[in-house]
Copies of this chain bind each other. A is one copy, B any other.
Amino acid sequence: MPRLEVCLSPALLHLYDTNDSVVVIIDVFRATSTIAAALYNGAKSVVPVATVEECIELGRSTENSITAGERNGRVVEGLEYGNSPSEYSRDFVAGKTLVLTTTNGTRLLHMVKGASAIITGSFLNLSAVCDFLVKSNKNVLLGCAAWKDRYNLEDSLFAGAVVSKIADKFNINCDSAIACKTLHNNLQGEAPIEFLRGSSHYRRLSAYGLESDMEYCATVDKHPVVPYLHNGKLMNYDSIK
């Protein structure tokens, strides 16, 4: 059986061999949730970029595009939209290219080398991600974007949800994976958001009134889609396979 491992922070990524593996980038609050929403609702692609400058630049040169990104809970000056999955309804986003600047998630995505596939995961597309991983039948690394390299609860809880669902199809000899699974089992059927209200990120974003946004991000399987990195763009896997 292929192996399944969890990397809890980008600062630990060098400890894992990602060659020929499927890597899942996880940034639950809120980049990979927004990506799932946008692609599920028909965005042509989502281009993750690290800086606001790149975002503006690429937005200008890309037809039918939207620029988006937040810092400290507000839309960045010079960009058009925020990093909230609920903004990206089908009416609004279908057929468009979303150029999205995020910090933690984008950085991790660009750090991964040699992977056979890079996809993104969030509670919104939990089962779709799990199905993809099982079908791929390759080694898997679940990569938590964390918060400025610090471990965070929301990404590891999601990693635990994945491990719980597909543990019987993989060889798991990774303490991080076991810990994440234990964290998820500990929910005992409670909604993820209940546990996540105690997380540092929830407290940080609550100060900007983003509680309902985080509740959205913690909703399971609302947007069944596999965001798949293809030529530097995240696309709905169904549209390219």
Is the pair B8, A11 in contact by a Cβ cutoff of 8 Å? no
| Residue A238 interfacial (CB < 8 Å) | no
Is the pair B151, A175 in contact by a Cβ cutoff of 8 Å? yes
| Residue A149 interfacial (CB < 8 Å) | yes
> Beyond A8-B8, A185-B186, A186-B185, is A178–B199 a contact (Cβ under 8 Å)?
yes
| Residue A231 interfacial (CB < 8 Å) | no
Which residues of B lie under 8 Å from residue A152 when comparing CB positions?
A: 175
Q: Which residue of B lies closest to A5 (CB)?
A: B150
Is the pair A151, B179 in contact by a Cβ cutoff of 8 Å? yes
| Residue A12 interfacial (CB < 8 Å) | yes
Which residues of B lie under 8 Å from residue A147 when comparing CB positions?
A: 175
A14: shortest Cβ distance to chain B, in Å? 8
| Residue A148 interfacial (CB < 8 Å) | yes
Interfacial residues of chain A within 140-164, with CB under 8 A of chain B in the complex: 147-153, 156
Binding site for B on A (CB under 8 A): 8-9, 11-12, 15, 147-153, 156, 173-176, 178-179, 182-183, 185-186, 198-201, 203
12 contacts between A and B (CB under 8 A): A9-B12, A12-B149, A12-B151, A15-B149, A15-B150, A151-B176, A156-B179, A173-B200, A174-B200, A175-B200, A178-B198, A186-B186
